[in-house]
Amino acid sequence: MNTARTVRFRQIDAFTSVPFKGNPLAVVFDADDFDTAQMQAIARWTNLSETVFLLQPDHPDADYRVRIFTTGGELPFAGHPTLGSAYALRDSGYQPRQPGRMVQQCGVGLVELSERDDGHWAFAAPTARITPLPTEHHAALTHALGSTAIDFGAPPCAVDNGAPWLVVRMHSAADCLAVQADAAALAAVTHAAGTHGVAIYAPHGAEGPTHFEMRCLMSGGDFGLGEDPVTGSANAALACLLEAQGKRPSATYSVRQGTVLERDGRVAISHDDDGRIWIGGDCVSVIEGSFRHP
C-alpha cells in the first residue's frame, strides 16, 4: 500500500526582490509529523544551504516554530531562513496574531520579526557573544586570506549569535572582493576561533552601492563549505560588532553580499532606540508546489 503523503513546499530567494539574485531557501510546511532523520534527509535532498521546516509552536508567545537544517546538520538559528520562512508563511495567507509583528520559535529561543517603516520585514538580531581573535592567530589569518589588507585597527572577532562567524574587516570593498582564501588554512583559523566560517567585510566609498561589502566563506562543520550568497546571521554578527567597536556609520545602513557569485543580495540594518538591531530585506517566491514523501 502506498502511504506517501503530499507536503506543501516553497523555494524562496531571500535578501532580494529579483529571483536568482539572493540566497535560496527551501521551506517545508506542516512538518510536525517529520522526525529529525526525515528532516535531515529532505535537507540533503534539496541540497540548499538551508531547509526550514514549519511547525506548530509550543511557546505561548510564538506565531510559529522552525527547525533549520543544512545538508550536514541542524542549526539553532540562521538569518536568511528566519527572514525567508516568515515571508513564505505570510505569503501563503497566514495572518500574524499582531499586525506587523511575528514571533518565531527556534533553537535559540524566540526571535521577533517586524515590518519596518520602509516596508521591509526584519528580524531582531539575537544576543551575540563576542570574542576577539587572539593576536597570535593574526598572521595565520593573513596567510589564510592571502591578503595584507586586513584592517587590524578593528580587531577580528568571533561573534556567536547561534551561528558563529569570525568577522574580519578589510581596508576597502575592492580588497574584500579580491580575497582568494586558502580553504585548509582558513579552516584551521576559524576552527581555532570556535567558528565555522569567516565573514569578511569592508566599507564602500561615498559613491558605493551600499555602506559595506561582505563575503562569507564557510569552512566546514554544520555550515558546509564554499561561499554563501547572502547571510543574515553574519550580517547580524557584523552589526553587533560594529556597535561594540563604535564603528557603525549611522542608525541605518546597508550591506551588499554575493557579488563574487554574481548575486546581488541587499541587507538593511537598523538600530532602534531600545538598543535592538534589526536585519531586513526583500524576499521573493521562486518555486511553489508540493512534493511526495513516504
Show which residues are catalytic. Answer: 50
Alpha carbon distances (Å) from 4 to 28, 45, 52, 92, 291: 16, 17, 20, 23, 10
Q: Cα 238–74–262 angle (5° rounding)?
A: 50
> Residue 28 contacts by C-beta under 8 Å, 6 or more apart in sequence?
7, 8, 9, 34, 39, 42, 51, 52, 53, 54
SS3 265: strand
Helices (H), the chain: 36-46, 79-91, 138-145, 173-178, 183-192, 232-244
Are 64 and 113 a contacting pair, CB within 8 Å? no
Q: Cα 274–56–46 angle (5° rounding)?
A: 95
